[in-house]
Structures are given as C-alpha cells and as structure tokens.
Amino acid sequence: MNGLNRSFKGPESYRNGSSYRLLPMKFMRFRDDRYLVTSMGGDYMFLSQTKLNDIVTHKLQQTDTLYPDLLASHLIADDSSTAHLDLLAAKYRTRHSRLPSWTALHMFVTTLRCDHSCQYCQVSRVSEDRESFDMTPAIADRAIGLMFQSPSACLKVEFQGGESLLNFDLVRYIVSEAKRRNDGRQLEFVITTNLANLTEEILSFSEEHGISFSTSLDGPAALHNANRPRPGRDSHAKTEEGIERLRQRLGKDAVSALMTTTAASLDQPERIIDEYVRMGFDSIFLRYISPYGFAVKSSARIGYETKKFVDFFKRGLAYIVDLNRRGIFVRETYTQIVLQKILMPGASGYIDLQSPAGMGISGIVYNYNGEVYSSDEGRMLAEMGDRTFRLGTVHDTYEKLFLDSPLLPMIHESMLEGVPGCTDCALQPYCGSDPVFHHRTQGDFIGHRPTSSFCERNMAIIKHILTLLEDDKETASILKSWL
C-alpha cells in the first residue's frame, strides 16, 4: 500500500485466500426483485435476486461491496475469522435470555363477575353470586405460593376478571400477602379493570402500594359504548373519569389503556388514535381481536377478515407516524414490539410474539376457582368447554404444573424452529408462536401456515415494518425513536 511505512504489511496480507461458506440463512421475496435475508441471530439485509443467486451459488467475489456486510451480518463466513460462531451463539442465546428466569407474569382472576356485557368477552358473568364466581383467600394463598416458586427475579401480579375490582377485598389480600411473603423479588402489581367501580378506598390502597392500572379504551365514546355495553351506556365516560382520577392520585404513568379492534373500528383508525392522544396517552396498541370468547359466536357482528385488520393497522400506523412528524409523540405498541425484535439484540418481553411460546413459561393464569391455565386465552377457551390449556389446579405441585402437565409438549410442538412454513420463513426471528390460536382455529398446536390468519396478519405487519425501515428514511427515523 502506497504511503504505508515499509515495516507494516498491507491489507492484502490480512485478507482471506479461501472461498466463503454459507451460514444458516432464510430468505423471502418482498416485491419485484428484492429479497429479505435473515441470519440465525436476527441480522437482516435486503438483496437483489441476482446477488442472492450469486451468493448461494458461491459466485460472489471478495471484492464485492456486499461481501464485508454479509460477513458482518453472519450470513456467510470465510477463513479470516471463526468468531462468528461465538457471536451467533451469543446472539441466539441473548434472544432467548428470558427463558431461564421462567414465569414472571402471574395473573389472578379475582372474580368472574362483571358489570359490563362486552360483545367480545366470553368469560364474565353479570351475577351477584359471590360464592360461585369469586376467588377465595385459600385459593389465593396456594397461588401465591406457586408464584414464589418461580425463579424469576421480578414477579408481576396482574389482577384480572371479570371485573377484578368487584372482589377488591381479595386484591388487597393478595397484595399484602405477596409483600409479606416476598423473599427479595421485585414485585409489581397491575389491576386490569374497566374503572367503573373506582373508590376512594381503592385509590388510597393503590397509592400506598404502588399499584398501576390497565384499562380498556376502544376509541371515541360512540364506538367504545357500542363495544362495551353497561347499564346506563356510560362506559366511556366512566373510563375517562377513572383515568383522570388515577392520574391525579398516582401519576401520569400509573394507567395504561388497551383497545380492541372490532368491525366497527375498521373505518376509523384516525378517530381512535385521536381519542388516545386527546386523553394524553403516548402509546396505543392497535390490537387484533382474538377468536375466543363471544368473538366467535358474534363474529358476524364484530369479527372481520385478517386483510381488513391489516389495512386498518397500516392506515393507523401511517397516521401515527404522521402525528409524530407534526411533533405529537405517540407510539404504536405492536410496531414497537416488532421493531425491537428486528433492530435490537435482546429478548422481547411481549408474551404473545415469542418462540417458544410465552404461555406458561412467561405468564400463567390462576383462575377464580383454583384452576391453573397456561394463558388468558386458554382460560377463555375453557369457559367455552375446551380445557386443553388447563395445567391443573393450585393444589398441584409447582413441578407437576410445569413439568408433568400438557404445557411442555404444547410449547415444544409449536416452536417456530420446527413448524412447517416457519422453519424456512425469513421472518422467523421476528415472529412468534401462538399454540392457543392454532389449536382453536386449525385443530392442533402447530397449525397450517398457508391458511393461518395468525401467519397472514403477522407476515403482513412485519413485512410492512421492514419495508418502511428500508424505503422511507424519514418514517424509519421516527420508528427508531420508539425503541
């Protein structure tokens, strides 16, 4: 090399003489001539069909500008280094680094009773019969004991219903007991509630114990009230008032909201998002409706095709990006989850888009009657008569529930690494598995990807996000700011 002092060797001395090898890679055609290629560690590149052909037929020259990028993305390897094996292994391990800590989320169904009769809800009962539908302290005690057997350093207790607050005495009992029995874990408490029954007593207890809230907000009043009927048709007003009270007492971040997309939502993503922004939320989760609960029975009224949901999602996301461009900071949560999986090396904490599936091993449900379910959806199916996802009861041992129950085979069978269709799918590192959905809609935990609406929806959304990252610099920088 010209100008290099003669005591140094030139760059050619450090280049590799041999040809390259292919590392495990998956590819998928996007549009036209463009292919997405992903590595085992989740690195990705977009390549033209010609280049991809050259690469896999070992025709790519070392002088090609893509060559170093392919090496660094661990798509190919040559004799210049063997560290890629250590790095790939570390990346793969990092992406699964939550597994050893096992179950962090523990959902307690404090009661099945509810004062709403939501169209998409299967599980709740409008009933005053406390005896039959409330969790007892004795059951809660057993469940708390199981919770503390989890190796996780953080334990998140989520109170579910029905309307969880209709059995507030038990909420209070569980919080106090968990704190009393805490052996050094980081404890978090979240109450999932429609906020209609918020009392001063609940507020001050929550303030004292640092409890946060999660509620439902489907959009503007007309839509929200239509989805969530309640005597008086005032669910929206009650929710708004509840959010305000919680924020005043517990701080702005103490309450988050979830929206459920129904057929009536599909033509108004902008209005739904505006409603979230108006209420001061800085994120919104454009959530697909699951085919459980009433959703199946009343699907004619509130269900929709996957394609319509995807259009709704894309339109909503475009609107949110546009709000950001205008200086209004609001994020879409599913996009954020997917971006994290695409751009960051760490393990995603989102239970419903993981492989192995998050059910049981990331979150577990203790039902009001003492039954233990691998997920909330599994519990809902049971209410419809399908008890596939019932792992046992709180009276079983921890070992029996987790090791000697249907759990591990279900998780094992549904891992994307081995699922036909997913094994070869370039989106696999960013996707997840949903055994409950596939069991429910296709009859087994594995499912059939070409006709799976889970796959259709996620493939469309993940492809859309990757396309935005690749093609639209401005949108990409807004999306990256959500990480």
Partner 1 sequence: MIPLAAKFQSRPEGRSFVARLTNDKSLPSPLCDDEILVSRGDEPAPSGSYQGLIRIAGAAHSEEELILGDEFSYLDDGDIVRINEFAGELRVLYRKGSYHNVLFFTERCNSRCLMCSQPPRDVDDEYLIDDILEAIPLMSQDTKVLCITGGEPTILGWRLIEVLTAVSRYLPDSSLHMLSNGRAFAYRATAKAVSQAGCRDLMIGVPLYADIASVHNFVVQARDAFDQTIRGMMNLARFNIALEIRFVIHRQTVSRLVQTAKFIARNLPFASQVAFMGLETIGFTRSNLSVLWIDPWEYRDALREAVTMLAAAGMRVMVYNLPLCLIPEEIWPFAQQSISDWKNIYMPECAGCAMKAQCAGFFASASFKYSDHIRPFDTVSQLPSFSII
Report the interface residues with ligand SF4, using CB under 6 A: 416, 421-422, 425, 427-428, 431, 449, 455, 458-459
Nearer CB in complex with ligand SF4: 73/458: 458
Interatomic CA distance for residues 378 and 50, integer angstroms = 46
Which of partner 1, ligand SF4, none is residue 344 near (CB under 5 to 8 Å by kind)? partner 1
Site for partner 1 in 335-354 (CB under 8 A): 343-346
Question: H/E element holding 137?
Answer: helix 137-147
User: Is residue 14 close enough to count as binding partner 1 by CB under 8 A?
Assistant: yes
Interatomic CA distance for residues 348 and 84, integer angstroms = 23
Which of ligand SF4, partner 1, none is residue 351 near (CB under 5 to 8 Å by kind)? none
User: Is residue 19 close enough to count as binding partner 1 by CB under 8 A?
Assistant: no
User: Is residue 61 close enough to count as binding partner 1 by CB under 8 A?
Assistant: no
Match 């920088």 to its residue by tokens: 477
Minimum CB separation of residue 253 from partner 1 in Å reads 19
Which of ligand SF4, partner 1, none is residue 450 near (CB under 5 to 8 Å by kind)? none
Which of ligand SF4, partner 1, none is residue 455 near (CB under 5 to 8 Å by kind)? ligand SF4
Token pair of 298 as six digits: 């009343």
Minimum CB separation of residue 352 from ligand SF4 in Å reads 12
Geometric angle at alpha carbon 98, from 368 and 286, rounded to 5°: 65
Which of ligand SF4, partner 1, none is residue 222 near (CB under 5 to 8 Å by kind)? none
Nearer CB in complex with ligand SF4: 140/415: 415
Minimum CB separation of residue 63 from partner 1 in Å reads 12
Rounded to whole angstroms, what are the CA distances from 190 to 125, 146, 157, 165, 437? 22, 18, 6, 12, 25
Q: Report residue 54 CA to chain centroid gap.
A: 37
User: Is residue 324 close enough to count as binding partner 1 by CB under 8 A?
Assistant: yes
Which of partner 1, ligand SF4, none is residue 345 near (CB under 5 to 8 Å by kind)? partner 1
Interatomic CA distance for residues 189 and 164, integer angstroms = 13
Minimum CB separation of residue 89 from partner 1 in Å reads 10
Q: Near partner 1 by CB under 8 A, which window of 78-86, 175-183, 225-233, 348-356? A: 78-86
User: Is residue 18 close enough to count as binding partner 1 by CB under 8 A?
Assistant: no
Which of partner 1, ligand SF4, none is residue 5 near (CB under 5 to 8 Å by kind)? partner 1
Q: How many C-beta neighbours within 10 Å does residue 399 have?
A: 10
Interatomic CA distance for residues 349 and 399, integer angstroms = 24
Alpha helical stretches, state H, 212-305: 221-227, 235-250, 269-278, 293-297, 299-302
Q: How many C-beta neighbours within 10 Å does residue 328 have?
A: 13
Match 């001539």 to its residue by tokens: 33
Which of ligand SF4, partner 1, none is residue 71 near (CB under 5 to 8 Å by kind)? partner 1
User: Is residue 66 close enough to count as binding partner 1 by CB under 8 A?
Assistant: no
Nearer CB in complex with ligand SF4: 136/306: 306
Minimum CB separation of residue 365 from partner 1 in Å reads 32
Minimum CB separation of residue 427 from ligand SF4 in Å reads 4
Region for residue 251 given its phi and psi (left: phi exceeds 0; alpha: psi -120 to 50; beta: otherwise)? left
Q: Residue 125 phi/psi, 5° resolution?
A: -125, 125
Q: What would the x/- binding string for partner 1 be over residues 94 to 113, using CB under 8 A?
A: x-------------------
Q: Which of 21, 31, 32, 43 binds partner 1 (CB under 8 A)?
A: 43
Minimum CB separation of residue 353 from partner 1 in Å reads 19
Interatomic CA distance for residues 22 and 390, integer angstroms = 44
Interatomic CA distance for residues 287 and 256, integer angstroms = 14
- Stated length of the chain: 483
User: Is residue 23 close enough to count as binding partner 1 by CB under 8 A?
Assistant: no
User: Is residue 1 close enough to count as binding partner 1 by CB under 8 A?
Assistant: yes
Q: Edge-to-edge, what's the strand order for the sheet holding 105-109?
A: 286-287, 255-260, 212-216, 186-192, 154-160, 105-109, 363-366, 371-373, 390-393
Q: Which of 22, 72, 138, 328 binds partner 1 (CB under 8 A)?
A: 72
Handedness of CA 370, 351, 432, 39 (dihedral sign): negative
Please give the residue ranges that form the binding site for partner 1 (CB under 8 A): 1-5, 7-11, 13-16, 41-43, 68-69, 71-72, 80-83, 86-87, 90-91, 94, 324, 343-346, 477-478, 480-481, 483
